[in-house]
A and B are shown apart, each in its own frame.
Chain A
Amino acid sequence: MGTTSENKWEPKIVAFLCNWCSYAGADLAGVSRFQYPPNIRIIRLPCSGRVSANMILDALRSGADGVLVSGCHPGDCHYISGNLFARRRFALLNNLLEFVGIEPGRVNFSWVSASEGEQFAEVVREVTETVKKLGPSTRLVKNIG
């Protein structure tokens, strides 16, 4: 969707981050001044278990070129098991989306802890690069003319 200059298209990526690990990880990346692409738009949630398929699909519908969902490492969930329940749901959703032809790499999942600032930056770099390769999202994008 967004174009920053004449020909250079920059993807917009919506990132759903859990409050306790990945959001803190992003914070650490910032505090530690690790560079990562400015393409992500962060939405903070209490837990990756809070992320529903509706939200991910709504991001795609609204024209996000990519989605990143990130939570605590399994076993480290602030709510003990939120990410473990979520993991099953994400696995199924990921497969379902690929099944209907959403490009692999459009929707991404990761585990990043509060101490992994560099890892967070690395994930964002990787996701941005993948989405850039895929190009602007066209499937499942709503257009009201």
Chain B
Amino acid sequence: MKVLKFDRKGMGKWLARLGEKGNVYVPASSKEGKTAIGWRKLESAEMPPVSPGVPARPVKNFLLPQPEVLFRFSTRPGKEDSFIPREPEPGQVDNIIFGVRPCDARSIMLNAMPYENDPYYQARMEHNIIIGLTCGEPCSTCFCSWTGGSPMGTDGCDLSVTELEGAFMARAITRRGEKLLEEAAGIAVEADHDAVEGLEKMSATAVAGAGSGTAPERALRERDLMELYNAPFWQDLAERCINCGACTFLCPTCYCFDIQDETLHGKGRRIRYQDSCMFPLFTLHASGHNPRGQKVQRVRNRFMHKLKYFPDRFGPLSCVGCGRCVRDCPVNIDIREVMGKLLAL
């Protein structure tokens, strides 16, 4: 496998050059310049500093945009085309997203499972090229290894970049990634034997550190669903939950949505947007009945979906261990504890 070595300056140059192939996004920091918030378009040929850990917002917003326009229509009565669905603006531009942590990248693969036959998600997969950035310094809220990932993981990446002794080592994972590396001609050099060895060592350490024993998804798949559903701790857990949607909107693997028609001045569009199972409206029936009308039911559903229903149906956990929900929950509901409790039942 070919590994290219960039210095910091070269990395910036390469990213700027990729701008000809599509929109290049790089990690963005908050106005005060202190905390990572998400991604912004690359403006100059300079590599921005990347803080350890994941940015506030997940990469899913590129693949499940807020909102996704499914189709458009005219609401002018009597016109030939009124109320006939039209395809939304064609010609999506490619996004090249740099600095995606392995957990976030892996979420793209996990979300692709339920969206397997969804043309919109599949199109977004086509048009978003992911340049992963491995984690040299995992955070205390990170637990990707526990959920089946790895700080050196490449799932969902087209390219994987590792920071090693001040330099950046890039290796292609997919054909698309290889093509991007071809653009680095004259900027990067082929990594020498030592550097490649260093990289391999890092990967090996990460795999070894990934924990031993039963993988939680396997253990949870084997458990009786109703036993977990009726666990005694849900009530206690839900008591402090304020039922906001912070966890779901920040979660890279929360993929649930709602659909709505918006009409204004004779124009209409059908949009799909991220929704949250934490909101009572999520399950409210037209009859007025709400099967998850109580907070405890909603809190339980979120965890059961991630840790039981999803593994039962697709195999892996619907959690990549990025730790965003742990970090940003206003009342400190910690999914690691919930997993521990479920496993200990």
Contact = CB atoms under 8 A, between A and B. Distances in A.
Is chain B in direct contact with chain A in the complex (CB below 8 A)?
A: yes
Contacts of A142: 264
A145 B71 CA distance: 12
A145 B263 CA distance: 10
Contacts of A144: 262-264, 267-269
A13 to B, nearest CB: 16
Nearest to B268: A144
Contacts of B89: 145
A81 interface: no
Interface residues of A, number: 6
B304 to A, nearest CB: 36
A62 interface: yes
B90 to A, nearest CB: 14
A145 B269 contact: yes
A62 B262 CA distance: 12
B70 interface: no
Interface residues of B, number: 10
A11 interface: no
A42 B276 CA distance: 39
A1 B264 CA distance: 12
B138 to A, nearest CB: 41
Contact of B69 (A1, A62, A63, A145): A145
Interface string B263-284: 1110111000000000000000
A63 B265 CA distance: 9
A53 B208 CA distance: 59
A144 B265 CA distance: 10
Nearest to A63: B265
B310 to A, nearest CB: 33
B99 to A, nearest CB: 30
B297 to A, nearest CB: 30
Contacts of B72: 145
Contact of A62 (B264, B267, B268, B269): B264
Contacts of B264: 62-63, 142, 144
Contacts of A145: 69, 72, 89, 267, 269
B74 to A, nearest CB: 12
Nearest to A141: B264
A132 B191 CA distance: 66
Interface in A33-72: 62-63
A120 to B, nearest CB: 28
Nearest to A62: B264
Interface string B84-115: 00000100000000000000000000000000
Interface in A106-127: none
Contacts of B263: 144
Interface string B55-94: 0000000000000010010000000000000000100000
Nearest to B264: A144
10 contacts: A1-B265, A62-B264, A62-B265, A63-B264, A142-B264, A144-B267, A144-B268, A144-B269, A145-B72, A145-B269
Interface of B: 69, 72, 89, 262-265, 267-269
Closest 6 CB pairs of A and B: A144-B262, A144-B264, A144-B269, A144-B267, A142-B264, A145-B269
Given A62-B265, A142-B264, A145-B269, 14 more contacts: A1-B265, A62-B264, A63-B264, A63-B265, A144-B262, A144-B263, A144-B264, A144-B267, A144-B268, A144-B269, A145-B69, A145-B72, A145-B89, A145-B267
